[in-house]
C-alpha cells in the first residue's frame, strides 16, 4: 500500500517537474551567447523566477529521493 502511494507521488512529481522546467525562461543564447558581451549573464532574477526555481528544486529533491527509496526496495 505504501509503495503504491509513493509510486503515484513519484510519477506526479516527475510530470510536475517536466512542466516546471518548461516554464522557465531561456537564460541565454546558447553557445552563440559566449561571444557576446557578458553583461546579460549577471542580471538578477525576478521574484517569480526565484520562486519558480525554489519550487523546481524542491520537486527535483522529492523526485530523486522517491526514486532512490522505491528502487532500493526499502519499503518491502
37 domain residue, yes or no:
no
74 domain residue, yes or no:
yes
56 domain residue, yes or no:
yes
pLDDT, residue 39, reads 52
CA distances from 24 to 28, 36, 59, 74 (A): 12, 22, 14, 34
Cell match 557576446: residue?
36
The pLDDT tens digits of the residues spanning 31-50 come to: 665 565 555 554 566 788 88
Task: Report which DSSP code applies to 26.
Answer: P
**Domain, as residue range, for 49:** 1-22+45-76
Structurally, the chain folds into a number of domains equal to 1
29 domain residue, yes or no:
no
16 domain residue, yes or no:
yes
Mean per-residue pLDDT for 42-63?
A: 86
Amino acid at each position: 500500500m505504501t509503495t503504491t502511494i509513493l509510486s503515484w507521488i513519484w510519477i506526479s512529481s516527475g510530470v510536475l517537474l517536466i512542466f516546471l522546467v518548461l516554464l522557465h525562461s531561456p537564460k541565454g543564447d546558447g553557445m552563440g551567447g559566449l561571444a557576446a558581451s557578458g553583461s546579460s549573464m549577471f542580471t538578477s532574477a525576478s521574484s517569480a523566477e526565484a520562486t519558480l526555481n525554489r519550487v523546481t528544486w524542491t520537486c527535483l529533491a522529492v523526485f530523486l529521493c522517491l526514486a532512490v527509496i522505491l528502487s532500493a526496495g526499502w519499503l518491502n
